Chain A
Amino acid sequence: SQKIEQNSEALNIQEGKTATLTCNYTNYSPAYLQWYRQDPGRGPVFLLLIRENEKEKRKERLKVTFDTTLKQSLFHITASQPADSATYLCALDWSGSARQLTFGSGTQLTVLP
């Protein structure tokens, strides 16, 4: 069965540095991949979507890459701020029809001032 693995450990970085979060998956590549942010006690909030034929997507300080050869997506936050502290989830749609979005367990990011 398809599996998703995100950074198993919580990630702590210093303010101003670039945070890099990893999402690895098994078997065949999904049609697209999404990244969400989740704060404690709240539902996830959509950040970025990248399709299988796209290598990179950017939005302000965020950048996502998608390498179907490595079966990996990297999520970067540049010039990180304490307000970026949250859990980041990657989500994959293997069906291409959005019927079932499979979420990773998330990486808890803490940006230290």
Chain B
Amino acid sequence: GAGVSQSPSNKVTEKGKDVELRCDPISGHTALYWYRQSLGQGLEFLIYFQGNSAPDKSGLPSDRFSAERTGGSVSTLTIQRTQQEDSAVYLCASTQKPEGEQYFGPGTRLTVT
């Protein structure tokens, strides 16, 4: 079946604007993750959703960041009042079971000018 998809693939926004990034996980995968990857850096964990449990938001860098997952499927990451340091590639991953391999989407490259 289809892999993890993300949209948009690229987003350029002005400082102070809000942005929404979308992730469509693989059908049937109960766990969904958001990561951020800055140039030349590793992946930084942002948030984790598992089924109907409360999400693990411990990686969100500030209260400008929020995410939701509707119906246990599609997830949206929202960044309010974007700052230049928010510029990065935002990656989404899903997995069928805890400790299983994570399937990543292609990412959304966010540039804040």
> Known contacts A43-B4, A43-B107, A44-B43; is A98 also within 8 Å of B31 by CB?
yes
Complex Cα–Cα for A42 and B102 (A): 14
**A43 pairs with B106, CB closer than 8 A:** yes
Contacts of B58 in A (CB 8 A): 100
**A-B interface pairs (CB < 8 A), number:** 62
B93 interface hit (Cβ, 8 Å): yes
Chain A interface residue number, banded: 20 to 34
Complex Cα–Cα for A103 and B38 (A): 13
Which 7 A-B residue pairs are closest in the complex by CB-CB distance? Answer: A43-B104, A46-B101, A98-B98, A105-B42, A103-B43, A103-B42, A98-B99
Q: Measuring CB to CB, which residues of chain A are less than 8 angstroms from any residue of chain B?
A: 4, 31-32, 34, 41-46, 49, 89, 91, 93, 96-106
